[in-house]
Structure 1
Amino acid sequence: MTTGGPLVDEDEARILHKRRLTREKMQRYRKGIVRKSSTLKHQAVDLQREIERLLARQTTDKSPWLLSWADVARALRDDSDATRNTNGILRQLVLQQDREIRTIRSWVHGCQVLPNSSWRNVSLLEHPQARKHGIDWITQHLYHNTDRVLEQYAFAAVGSGVQIDDDTIIDTSSPDCFQYVWRDQRDMDVPFDVAARALTLDFFHSLLAHGTPLAAIPTDVEV
């Protein structure tokens, strides 16, 4: 009986030691769990603060010009539509100008010899824009020949103050006809627009030899 006592004590001691190791291991495990949980809680708080900071910064720094992808796509589509419309208008304009060029070219080919008579005898095209170009062309010819005509018929220099009233010149240099020139010249201290409005078609008709008076003259019943 005396030999069994130490073996029992050794087994019990081994069991107690094992239990102690297990208990210490569990304590270390629980402490690790507590530390990890505390760390995760702190990280969660930090992450929440970072989210709040980023959201506040996004709200503060958000540009009013920042567009969504849908807005960008819509703007690009609208720009593409506007470009196609402009391209169509330009194509129509090219075709229209091409027709005008062909019409004016045919008119120019029909006037190979410059007329030496009055421009009143020159015909114009029916096409509205081509007709406008024809009027501009005639006007440019008249303008560039102004100095030559004034010199040919001995008009005084502009600004000279010389006034010519109802002066006539008869040109008999041609054996087939004679040219009757009626000269009037005066300087008017008025704006150009006022003078241009005064030079109406009725005004020039009154200068013609066969011109008619601008207004009817009442008949004197006593005559």
Structure 2
Amino acid sequence: MEAPQRRHGTKPTRARHRNEYQRHAQKRYRKVRSGERQQLRQLVVDLEAAKATAVAAASGRKNRPPWSTGMLSWADIALALQDAAQVSRSDAWELQVQVVNQARLGRAMWTYATNLLAARHVSLPRSPPARREGLDWITTQLYHNADAVVAGLGFPATGELFFDIQVAEERDGGHTVTIRHQREVDESWGSVTARYHTFFIASNGFGYDAVETLHDDNDDENDSSVVRSDKVYYFLNLDYCVEWTCV
């Protein structure tokens, strides 16, 4: 059985896109900061001019009331306060850019994740060393996705004893059996793993024929290694649903 080809971008392509995104982000950052510096320089010029005007007016009016000496006009005050409004507008624009970039990144990651092949869509090869490598890869995937998968299985949040069997009829006339079992045991991780391995593999816990073959017109798919490949996945699936969620 030939495994479907994985379709996703190459590492150089992803690196190039990431570098391009960082360059654009740095360019936007420099542009915003340059605008802020220019506004501050202009504000210094305006304040110095306002101060000179106020000093000249005060020196020309010696009889002015004491409380009005050196006071800035409301127009000058408004001119000074408009800088805060400009900074707020710049921050709002920068936040909008970040929202757009995050949305674009989310869509890209969703497309990438939906195109990944799951363990159930991959058959282990016939070569023993390659089978071991494949088994290690599948086990690693199960480990890192344990929390997400368990969250969708509907197990009780508490550690109470739970057992459930559901049988669903498929369109092709077959049936899908979903078994959920949760319980707490006071044993080591290695001991529990060994016992489940003995039950599902050595003793054939659910009673499947060890030499069961697939009924198909293609003789290559009836090879025992392919059947064992399916059974290895079946063991991993049950092992995952029981060990990672129930112990």
For the criterion TM > 0.5, the same-fold answer is no
Q: Relative contact order, CA 8 A, sep 6+: which one is greater? A: 2
Larger Rg: 1
